[in-house]
A and B are shown apart, each in its own frame.
Chain A
């Protein structure tokens, strides 16, 4: 609903601006009835005065009086329109014939010269009237065009001077009010919709029927309202602000009653509306660009931060792990156990750091997966290598169905997901119980799935929804881990357009299934 603007928003013509633009008042709207009777009055007056003056001259000067009439008609044609000048010609001819050409007070003419002169009158009056009328029309058009160009130029300048969209809209409304002597209202659409935003600056309220007309203009992309064929009973004249198939809003014009809208003015308003649409488009593009830039900037910062944190955490770990390698080269039985302890702790820490960094990546904004084709067996092998240390006490079962296709996933993300699931399974189930990985194609939903199932205690029913949250750990969970694993699994799966399902393993235990979109490889490789 577009409500009338508050008082602070009500725009009154500014005197200074009004005076500046007064030179273009011909653009103001004309009275509905053009006043032609003044011209007839002028014509009648001039002829009457000339006739009176002619009567004072001696009778023998009648030819000269005729020439004076001719001169007057020519001069008059500079001031009055085509019909008045023709009237003047006829009037002058009759007056001259009746009053000056012998026999007097009679329309009869006996002299051939006088007949010729009379005919000349009509022809000259006709031609002069025609010519001057045409010149005047041309001059008038020229002036109008120039005024329109000036008005448009001033309008674009006003828009260009504004720093914000709101300011530009305010100035545009004020400018049009002053220039055209009308009331103007601007309404914008919400971005990429056909809904109108709450009122932009306006000097009259668009509501009720008027709002309906404005909306019609918006959806039909045509001018609607008074002076048009659509909803012509509306008070205002509404123009959609269109640019390259996009509608940005509506320009409403309320013209004082009794005035008319000429084609020239319609054209000018259309030009204004195009400028307005251009301005809004530009403002919106600029805003979108700035948003984009800000996002990219913050992403860059996040990446740099993550990178340096990752570097600082992993480098000492790398030193610890490499030193362990060195120790084991010496093969000293006394210390082998200790070295193994250090190595296990180092691996745990490496994994933890990895998870923390992953979680930070997830929290720092939308994750863009890097999708590529991969062999699901490669993925499973990589995950098993990643979790190898933790799985030593669990017999493994790997079941990849024969119809398992190539999958299109982000390998690194998928590997982290599976490693987390495997480590969880190893951590939460007693030693010696089997852990299985199942992969296949779910034809019904056109998705591929990877599942990790165990024979442990299963998920506590109450905790199921909680488990995906950060730092939530099962009550019975042995110490170790931050409770980030499942949260990361879910985050990475969602980022790839997949779904995580917690379930029970038939026959006891827990089963977590990752469903991922199935893409069909287009062509088989050419030999």
Chain B
């Protein structure tokens, strides 16, 4: 990565081997890496060094990772990626609801980790004007409210377009069902996940080359959807 200013990352994890591995991978990408081995020192370090992003484990020796996240969110909007062996949907959604930006379960692939880190760091960058976004042969121009696929204009309904835009704004990061439902249909629709399935199927049919095996509009089972970066 060829950033002029190195992004500063804080890893909160009590496993030495994981810390070493993460440090190695992230430093190779040009990040400045700091470590904390428990929740409380993680919070202190976050206050001291003002990291651009935090990688947080949920199983910590002193505080539960969720508690650490809640305490952080009391004063800091810093992007947080959860990296944990806990893989139940309950754990993941409660972490996302508590303010985590994304989630990755161990064991993980290095490539995936790096792409998640890039995605959460991008959130803090201010986008002055929405640019034209591309994935596959699809082109989305938010200024003209235009969606093209292979040069051909694709007609999207209002809600379909709104959902696509929502995923684009959070590109590379997971967007929870609840978040989408609330944004598109209001808080009373939070439980109506069948709406979402129907819409994402329609979006895939219009935008994916093979709607049954989507390449871009990915499902995060039980949690939400993610629009891939590449």
Interface residues of A (CB under 8 A from B): 307-308, 310-311, 314-323, 325-326, 329, 346, 350, 370, 372-375, 377-379, 381-382, 398, 400, 406, 411-412, 415, 521-522, 524-527
Contacts and interface: CB of A to CB of B under 8 A. Distances in A.
A328 to B, nearest CB: 9
B157 to A, nearest CB: 6
B94 interface: no
5 contacts: A319-B15, A372-B193, A375-B201, A412-B222, A526-B195
Nearest to B199: A525
B208 to A, nearest CB: 11
Contact of A382 (B86, B201, B221): B221
B184 to A, nearest CB: 9
Contacts of A415: 221
A237 B215 CA distance: 79
Interface string B192-230: 111111111100000000001110000101100000000
A372 B192 CA distance: 9
A320 B90 CA distance: 26
Contact of A317 (B107, B158, B195): B107
Nearest to B191: A372
A340 to B, nearest CB: 15
Contacts of B90: 370
B222 A370 contact: yes
B111 interface: yes
A412 B88 contact: yes
B106 interface: yes
Contacts of B194: 373, 406, 521-522, 525
Given A373-B194, A524-B198, A315 B106 contact: yes
CB-based closest 7 A-B pairs: A318-B106, A525-B195, A321-B107, A318-B107, A314-B85, A325-B110, A373-B194
A311 B107 contact: no
B59 interface: yes
Interface in B175-199: 185, 192-199
A378 B213 CA distance: 8
Contacts, number: 108
Interface stretch (B18-26, B74-82, B145-153): B18-26
B85 A318 contact: yes
B221 A319 contact: no
Given A318-B107, A321-B107, A323-B21, A527 B159 contact: yes
Contacts of A382: 219, 221
Contacts of B199: 525
Contacts of A323: 21
A28 B22 CA distance: 87
A381 B59 CA distance: 30
B85 A375 contact: no
Nearest to A524: B198
Contacts of A350: 107
B198 A406 contact: yes
Contacts of B15: 315, 319
Interface in B102-122: 106-111
B109 A325 contact: yes
B159 A525 contact: yes
Contacts of A370: 89-90, 222
A375 B111 contact: no
Nearest to A414: B221
Interface centre among B89, B111, B200, B219 (most CB of A within 10 A): B219
Contact of B21 (A319, A377, A379): A319
Contacts of A320: 107
B125 interface: no
Contacts of A316: 17
A375 B219 contact: yes
Contact of A319 (B18, B111, B158): B18
Nearest to B223: A411
Contacts of B193: 372-373
Contacts of B197: 373-375, 406
Given A315-B85, A318-B18, A411-B222, A326 B198 contact: no
